[in-house]
A and B are shown apart, each in its own frame.
Chain A
Amino acid sequence: MMNSSEGGTPAIRVAALTVVRGGRPVLHGIDLDVARGSITGLLGPSGCGKTTLLRSIVGVQRGTAGRVEVLGRAAGSAALRSRVGYVTQAPSVYADLSVAENLRYFAAVLGVPKSDPARVIAQVGLDGREQDLVSRLSGGQRARVSLAAALLGAPELLVLDEPTVGLDPVLRSELWRLFRELADAGATLLVSSHVMDEAVRCDRLLLMRDGRLLADDSPQALLDRTGAADIDAAFLRLVAATGPTARPEVLS
């Protein structure tokens, strides 16, 4: 049934996801669906569990309980490895190789055409820097090499952990334009950020705090519901409404 109706299932379905890291609960029963062909923003303060949630969806997080399904399969299953692109917060590329060498290698691992590196280099706006060693690039350029590697093979789902950190506003808006193009072409994007002004560019927002989802709604609906002027204010109102979260693990 799963296979025949794969197009109809959400790109990501998370049910009652709990994650314990080092004896400490980090995620407390998360439920969410992410629709295909959409951009979903995962917003929340640093340390609230965004990366852990993304890692669980990619299938690299240990200590998970509950259910995480990606493109109709259990997260992390072998069949998903060429269908999901993941960009970690810190650029995970070889600093001692050139941009082109990095992408050629990842392309070979993914088994995608040899022309694909050139395509993704153009997508992230790094043309002309192909021969530069990654260690010589700026932080923002390195982040784009890392993003380019995830775009290889045009994966159906892109999980991006703070892809725009350290980028100037022009570049950020260019990347968001790219994200929109990818979504329009049918890809699903899950993008974490702690910059609330990126929220309005998403189709849907997941607001997270202390390992729990505060809201799962479209940006406009969120503003309407809270009566706030911007997402930042909406977030604060939601926090105030739920009250201070008890965190006994911090006290002990």
Chain B
Amino acid sequence: MNPSRTLATARRVLAQLRHDPRTLALLLVVPCVLLTLLKYMFDGQPQAFDRIGAALLGVFPLLVMFLVTSVAMLRERTTGTLERLLTMPLGKLDLLLGYAFAFGAVALLQAAAASALTLGLLGLKVAGPTWLLFAVALGNGLLGMALGLFVSAFATTEFQAVQFLPAALLPQLLLCGLFVPRERMADGLRLASDVLPLSYAVDAMTRLTTSAGVSGAVLRDLSVIAAAALLALGLGAVTLRRRTA
């Protein structure tokens, strides 16, 4: 690992995003529009908006980073730039962390825009500290990135890469407690939801809305998210092969 190569990679990924302002705009605007829609959908039920709105603040960065990373990494593979980089003195970790820094910055920006809107204009009530909300959102963004990186190894076309979003994330979304509280699920499903990382993302956000201060439970959730992200990043690193068929 080499810091200057990692930073050069992060700068390069950000430069690519800068050349694609539409993607950048979609990344920032879509969550805000959806959250606004949600607010007016639950016009008469502010508690419902507090619960679901906060959970979605955690889910969006994960969804978006998953999609962006899986397509970006697939592009690196199909255009041959990944092969070129791997013939150069670039460590696999330099590449992965470069992506993590660049997309982490975008995840942070997205979380800032979405939470400024939700906490400010839309009046979402969060009892916990705002910095912790950001930390969870950032952790979720990085988890989405790491998962996207990992699954991109199994996609050979962009069509496949996009299909991995519903395949890998929809089950997690159904089981994360957003639709049915996790403790009321059948044992098997409950168990499944216990091992899926998105559950902890939503749990953390839910806890932040209800309890003030820095609760140990939120920190535990956050460390589960971080561990899952590191695991996925490690698995992703294994899929980067210098020698290919």
Give the interface of A toward B (CB within 8 A). 21-22, 58-63, 76, 78, 81-82, 84, 86, 88, 90-98, 101, 105-106, 108-111, 133, 149
A108–B6 alpha-carbon span in the complex (Å) = 10
Decide yes or no whether B162 CB sits under 8 A from chain A. no
Give the interface of B toward A (CB within 8 A). 4-5, 8-9, 11-12, 15-16, 19-20, 79-81, 83-90, 94, 241-245
Residues of chain A contacted by B16 (CB below 8 angstroms): 94, 96-97
Kindly count the residue-residue contacts between A and B in the assembled complex, taking CB atoms under 8 Å apart.
Answer: 84
CB of A60 within 8 A of CB of B245, answer no
Which chain A residue has the least Cβ–Cβ distance from B241? Answer: A62
Which chain B residue has the least Cβ–Cβ distance from A86? Answer: B87
Interface SS majority for chain B: helix
CB of B245 within 8 A of CB of A58, answer no
Can you give 26 contacting A-B residue pairs, CB < 8 Å?
A59-B87, A59-B242, A60-B86, A60-B242, A60-B243, A60-B244, A61-B243, A61-B244, A62-B243, A81-B87, A82-B89, A90-B79, A91-B80, A92-B79, A92-B83, A94-B12, A95-B79, A96-B16, A97-B15, A101-B12, A105-B9, A106-B88, A108-B4, A109-B8, A109-B90, A111-B89
Which chain B residue has the least Cβ–Cβ distance from A101? Answer: B15
Q: A88-B80, A93-B81, A133-B19 are in contact. Are A109 and B88 (CB under 8 A)?
A: yes
User: Nearest Cβ distance between residue B90 and chain A, in whole angstroms?
Assistant: 5
A58–B85 alpha-carbon span in the complex (Å) = 12
A88–B81 alpha-carbon span in the complex (Å) = 10
Which chain B residue has the least Cβ–Cβ distance from A153? Answer: B88
Q: A101-B15, A109-B8, A110-B88 are in contact. Are A92 and B242 (CB under 8 A)?
A: no
CB of B12 within 8 A of CB of A81, answer no
Residues of chain B contacted by A149 (CB below 8 angstroms): 84
CB of B242 within 8 A of CB of A76, answer yes
Residues of chain B contacted by A62 (CB below 8 angstroms): 241, 243-245
The 8 Å CB contact of B81, one of A22, A61, A86, A92, is A92
CB of B84 within 8 A of CB of A96, answer no
User: Nearest Cβ distance between residue B87 and chain A, in whole angstroms?
Assistant: 5
CB of A97 within 8 A of CB of B84, answer no
Q: Which 4 A-B pairs have the closest CB atoms?
A: A92-B80, A108-B8, A81-B89, A105-B12
CB of B8 within 8 A of CB of A96, answer no
6 new A-B contacts, CB < 8 A, other than A59-B87, A106-B88, A109-B89, are A63-B245, A84-B87, A88-B80, A96-B16, A108-B4, A109-B88
A133–B12 alpha-carbon span in the complex (Å) = 14
Residues of chain B contacted by A61 (CB below 8 angstroms): 243-245
User: Nearest Cβ distance between residue A57 and chain B, in whole angstroms?
Assistant: 11
Q: A97-B12, A97-B15, A97-B19 are in contact. Are A59 and B84 (CB under 8 A)?
A: no
User: Nearest Cβ distance between residue A104 and chain B, in whole angstroms?
Assistant: 8
The 8 Å CB contact of A88, one of B11, B83, B88, is B83
User: Nearest Cβ distance between residue B76 and chain A, in whole angstroms?
Assistant: 9
Residues of chain A contacted by B89 (CB below 8 angstroms): 78, 81-82, 109-111
User: Nearest Cβ distance between residue B69 and chain A, in whole angstroms?
Assistant: 15
A14–B84 alpha-carbon span in the complex (Å) = 22
A112–B36 alpha-carbon span in the complex (Å) = 49
A96–B86 alpha-carbon span in the complex (Å) = 20
CB of A60 within 8 A of CB of B8, answer no
Residues of chain A contacted by B84 (CB below 8 angstroms): 86, 88, 92, 106, 149
Residues of chain A contacted by B5 (CB below 8 angstroms): 108-109, 111
Which chain A residue has the least Cβ–Cβ distance from B7? Answer: A108
Which chain A residue has the least Cβ–Cβ distance from B15? Answer: A101
Residues of chain A contacted by B243 (CB below 8 angstroms): 59-62, 76
User: Nearest Cβ distance between residue B82 and chain A, in whole angstroms?
Assistant: 8
CB of A58 within 8 A of CB of B15, answer no
A103–B170 alpha-carbon span in the complex (Å) = 40
Residues of chain B contacted by A91 (CB below 8 angstroms): 80
